[in-house]
Structure formats: C-alpha cells, structure tokens
Homo-oligomer: A and B are copies of this chain.
Amino acid sequence: MSHFKDQSSGYLVNHLARLMEQALAEAIGPLGLSPGQFPTLLALWERDGRTQAELVREVDVEQATLALTLKRMERDGLIQRKPNPDDSRSRLIYLTPHAKALEERALALAAGVNDQALADLDDKEVPHLLSLAARMIQTLRKGTD
C-alpha cells in the first residue's frame, strides 16, 4: 500500500515546494539572497519606505516570520530602517542601494527557476497549474482569513 504518498496532493505539493525552494536557493545564493527573502524583496522593489505592518499585509507570512526575515535582511545589508515620523512604534523600511541593484538579476534568476520547474509542461498546462494552485489556496484560506 502506501501509494498514499504518490496519490496525496499534500505530499506532492510539499515535496515540490522543497525542491523549488532549493533550486531558488542555488540560483540566487550567489547574489547573497535567500528564498525566504524573496517575497519581501518583491514588495520592497515595488515600493519601499513602508512599515512592517504594511508588508505583512502583502507577504503571505505571519508577522513574527517577517520580523525575523527583516532582521536577517538588515544583517545582510539589504534593508535599512528609519524612524517613522507618524508613529514611533514602527520604522520605515528601505532597500539599500545594493538590494535595489539586484532586482533585475534576481527576478531573471527566479523566473529561470520557474521555467526550469515547468520545462516538461506544455503551454496549456502551465496556466492550468497556476490556476489550480491559486484555487486550492483560495479554498484553504476561506475561514482563516
């Protein structure tokens, strides 16, 4: 038995996520970036000078997770925090020039990892996969959020 494993969406999705995370780590590691920082970087490349609370609303992780990620990004010279004149509880988060300079290369490398993972799928299957995943996420978020 235990074809459970090969028939279980949870098992497969978990395994796939780990493989893709490893591939991304390999790809962007040379830039000094890691997979967990990517969602935050996407948000900050789009617009920086925001508070942690604003980023939490955009990045799909818990506040405590983001707080740790930001601490590592600060340690790694990717972000800088300045006092928020409007609210002394929070600080505004800015990308360093170094982190800004990495945007194009990092996006290209991440896109390359996606392409590599999807290499065996044809043009119709790729959007289908994205749509199925998005629908499953929607289903699971109902009620939680």
Which residues of A are in contact with B by a Cβ distance under 8 Å? 1-2, 4-21, 23-24, 35, 38-39, 42-43, 45-46, 60, 107, 110-111, 113-114, 116-121, 125-126, 128-130, 132-141
Contact = CB atoms under 8 A, between A and B. Distances in A.
Contact of A139 (B11, B117, B135, B136): B117
Given A4-B107, A12-B134, 9 more contacts: A7-B130, A8-B110, A9-B126, A10-B20, A13-B16, A16-B17, A19-B137, A23-B140, A132-B132
B137 A15 contact: yes
Contacts of A141: 19
B113 A135 contact: no
Contacts of A17: 13-14, 16-18
A136 B117 contact: yes
Contact of A20 (B13, B23, B39, B42): B13
Contacts of A121: 132, 135-136
A24 B4 CA distance: 15
